[in-house]
A and B are shown apart, each in its own frame.
Chain A
């Protein structure tokens, strides 16, 4: 065996599968995430995202195939994988009865971080997420946003090479979401941390270097956000008219375009939307009151590849979140 001259990629997945009984949750998935990348992992609920993440962080044993995280095999080198990853789950895994500082110290002890380095690192992580002044308060008194920030600080406490974020900003206000993204980007610059994240927010997916969309256990597409949007090809046109049904008929007859009424306007897709607008005015024969042309968004990409919008996918996620909140409210901790 010769030592590899270049460091291994952050994540290498090779024909990874997971089967539960007859159900194939993940089907022969393969992809590679280079070091330092922000990798977005999208897909409707039940697509197999969570199962894939759980296999990558050694919580679930793969049925077949292989995966290496930071060069370590998730099946045979579990501890090595665990030492090099940080995790922020959708559900809180903090101890509400402990203070922020106690939660971080506990984490440092579990990970065996050298004692002399713990205090300094802890302080800087807490300052980064703006919780240093609240460090002595019990986590149970924290707001949802503060808890998530603390989870991120804890996930980063042991300087992981790969940080897994499962819906890190779900249910948070825009200001908190922005600051969380600023930590993530700063961190990538400072420590070269690779970020592997799932999200249902389109604007967040835009921040990713590359995006994989998973559906029914398979990765249906994987590319940069720009390339994915370019791949959709067609622009979306929203038309305000004096007579919508007549406009829809005219579009079908004269341009062969299938349009439909949506939100009090006529919506359709066409290649080169801006160049199409002058033709529309000249040839439609129905009064036009307004025109809006939009370039394909990631939502269009998502829709094209999974058949549902990201917002729909998010809605079911939010319902699940509320169920968790209700459960937590029912019990005391």
Chain B
């Protein structure tokens, strides 16, 4: 078998590194994450469970208690944008575990010795994890009709954009943590430490106006707050509800009484994401 086939082996050429070869590297690292995602349907379902529990069990269960306070808006409708954020947030926080696994199982070495920039590997990972996380959000978004949120093109477009931004920023945070961690367990426990507090404090499940001072301070310091609020605004602006309901349920975020515009909130999330990406690249380039 060997001698006959070997005669025909054409030698190939590895060209000098260029922006094009770096783009190919980013793309293949991204693509690999998508293949893993598609290969593992169990994981997709596991990660969907929690947001769906929040939406349908918590939303329906507490609905009767809150009926008086929501001006006729179902609780499930109210927490829908929050649940969108949560579903993306959970997946994105843990997606960078793949980087730690690659280190532990040796595959990272294959990428490290390749003639590509370390930043291409990091960027590919952030885009890959971000895409997977955002697609979880898309599955939840598809359920909008079940909780009285219309399939309005503008709503869908703006929610998609916000989900992508949230996914990339949160994944960048995960990758930033992952590049300096050697063990899967360490990574998971570090992330666990952040996930629940950040989710609860963000206001994904309650309006962020009229909170006790301690909670308000924590809420305003929580970056996830600024990802949840624009999402809620995007959904509520397309709902047909009374003015008083809107004022109660979509009050917006204030700093010392000043209403923070949605554009600034999006800017905060984007700048944080970019900063963490840069930090991740720096740490990763220095390692090994």
Contacts and interface: CB of A to CB of B under 8 A. Distances in A.
Interface of A: 57-59, 79-80, 82-84, 87, 89, 91-98, 102, 105-107, 109-114, 117-118, 120-121, 124-125, 127-128, 130, 157-159, 179, 182-183, 186-187, 190-191, 328, 331, 333
A2 to B, nearest CB: 22
Contacts, number: 127
Contact of B2 (A94, A117, A128): A128
A83 to B, nearest CB: 4
A328 B107 CA distance: 13
7 contacts: A57-B113, A97-B36, A112-B20, A114-B12, A120-B10, A121-B12, A124-B6
Given A112-B15, A124-B9, A106 B113 contact: no
Interface in B82-113: 101, 104-113
Contacts of A87: 113
Nearest to A85: B113
Nearest to A151: B110
A331 B35 contact: no
A110 B6 contact: no
Q: Which 9 A-B pairs have the closest CB atoms?
A: A112-B21, A109-B28, A110-B114, A82-B115, A159-B11, A83-B14, A93-B106, A93-B110, A186-B6
A125 B24 CA distance: 22
B27 interface: yes
A98 B113 contact: no
B13 A114 contact: yes
B12 A159 contact: yes
B144 interface: no
Contacts of A94: 106-107, 110
A112 B17 CA distance: 8
Given A112-B14, A112-B17, A186-B6, 13 more contacts: A83-B14, A93-B106, A93-B110, A97-B35, A98-B35, A112-B15, A112-B24, A112-B25, A113-B13, A121-B12, A124-B6, A182-B2, A186-B3
Contacts of B259: none
Given A57-B113, A186-B3, A113 B12 contact: yes
Contact of A107 (B20, B105, B110, B112): B110
Nearest to A157: B12
